[in-house]
Amino acid sequence: MRKPVIAGNWKMFKTISESVNTALSLKSLVANANHCEVIIAPVFTSLKAVADRVEGSNIQVAAQDVSDQLKYGAHTGEISAEMLKDAGCSHVIIGHSERRSLYGDIDEFINRKLRAALQFGLTPILCCGETLGERDAGNAEQVVNNQLTADLNGFADEDVAKLIIAYEPVWAIGTGRTATPDQAQQMHGYIRGWLTDKFGTSVSQGLRILYGGSVKPDNIAELMRAEDIDGALVGGASLEAESFAKIVNYNE
Ligand code: 13P
């Protein structure tokens, strides 16, 4: 009943022409994928060109971040949710661990960015996840609890229902070390339970929770068999159309 989502986060890779070429290759490779939603997240400069080329296909476009500011103004370097909509985005990744750890994206900003995205009809893909030290100390669930509590502070049930959540354990990102399906399922189950507690069953049962961290063509099928894993947020393996298409077509 929850339609899976397979999203590719291209991070800071690809010029405009490289982005368009990858998107066009992907378009034909996933043309028959109706079992899931397919999303790609190019860099800001490639968004419009990619969105124009995939318009009318089953590929949707996400930005990798959004400003917390809603209106035009003196906010050097920022890009608003309205501008992302205008460029053809339907989704936006918010609170990725790289933004949290390297660029000072604190929960208070993330909360405002989520509100900004929702106000302009963008679907946020909210990322959460613990570091290896936090996991080894037995604090993984507490860390995710703290992130989600702060990020969704003050949110109404109907707004939370519009989100996609991505659980991305930091120790699995770009390391080739994937969480086992059991480890991922345990956290996804925890997050769904958390959502039930805070926002009720209908929100928690409908919301897609993606796993991210070294997802590859050869481990996606196994991950997707876990009850509470509703898709994947893929970094490195989404950069090549062929490899990302294999992940999208995990059911074949
Ligand atoms: P990798 O798939 O390269 O581990 O990256 C995961 C990620 O950060 C997706 O947002």
Domains, in order of start, for the chain:
5-248 (3.20.20.70)
Q: Is 9 in the pocket of ligand 1 (CB under 6 A)?
A: yes
Q: Compute the CA torsion angle 47, 112, 106, 194 (nearest 10 deg).
A: -100
Q: Is 233 in the pocket of ligand 1 (CB under 6 A)?
A: yes
pLDDT tens, N- to C-terminus, the chain (252 residues)? 899 999 999 999 999 999 999 999 999 999 999 999 999 999 999 999 999 999 999 999 999 999 999 999 999 999 999 999 999 999 999 999 999 999 999 999 999 999 999 999 999 999 999 999 999 999 999 999 999 999 999 999 999 999 999 999 999 999 988 899 999 999 999 999 999 999 999 999 999 999 999 999 999 999 999 999 999 999 999 999 999 999 999 998
CA distances to 79, 82, 124, 252 from 63, rounded to whole Å, are 10, 12, 10, 29
pLDDT of res. 9? 98
CA of 214 to the centre of ligand 1 (A): 6
CA of 237 to the centre of ligand 1 (A): 8
- Catalytic hit among 37, 82, 98, 168: 168
Q: Is 223 in the pocket of ligand 1 (CB under 6 A)?
A: no
pLDDT of res. 1? 85
Q: Which atom of ligand 1 is nearest to the CA of 237?
A: 2
Mutate-to-test residue for ligand 1 from 11, 91, 132, highest number of ligand atoms within 8 A of CB: 11
In three-state form (DSSP H/G/I as H, E/B as E, the rest C), the secondary structure along the chain is CCCCEEEEECCCCCCHHHHHHHHHHHHHHCCCCCCCEEEEECCHHHHHHHHHHHCCCCEEEEECCCCCCCCCCCCCCCCCHHHHHHCCCCEEEECCHHHHHHCCCCHHHHHHHHHHHHHCCCEEEEEECCCHHHHHCCCHHHHHHHHHHHHCCCCCHHHHCCCEEEECCHHHCCCCCCCCHHHHHHHHHHHHHHHHHHHCHHHHHHCEEEEECCCCCCCHHHHHCCCCCCEEEECHHHCCHHHHHHHHCCCC
Q: Is 231 in the pocket of ligand 1 (CB under 6 A)?
A: no
Per DSSP, what are the bridge partners of residue 9? Answer: 41
pLDDT of res. 176? 86
CA of 211 to the centre of ligand 1 (A): 9
Q: Which atom of ligand 1 is nearest to the CA of 216?
A: 2
Backbone angles phi, psi at 54, to 5 degrees: -100, 0
Q: What CA–CA distance (Å, rounded) separates 21 from 30?
A: 14
Catalytic site residue 91? no
Per DSSP, what are the bridge partners of residue 39? Answer: 7, 60
Tokens of 58: 């089953």
Q: What is the CA radius of gyration of the chain?
A: 17
User: 22, 14 in Cβ contact below 8 A?
Assistant: yes
Contacts of 4 (CB under 8 A, 6+ apart): 35, 36, 37, 208, 224, 230, 231
Q: What CA–CA distance (Å, rounded) separates 180 from 128?
A: 17
Mutate-to-test residue for ligand 1 from 5, 9, 13, highest number of ligand atoms within 8 A of CB: 9
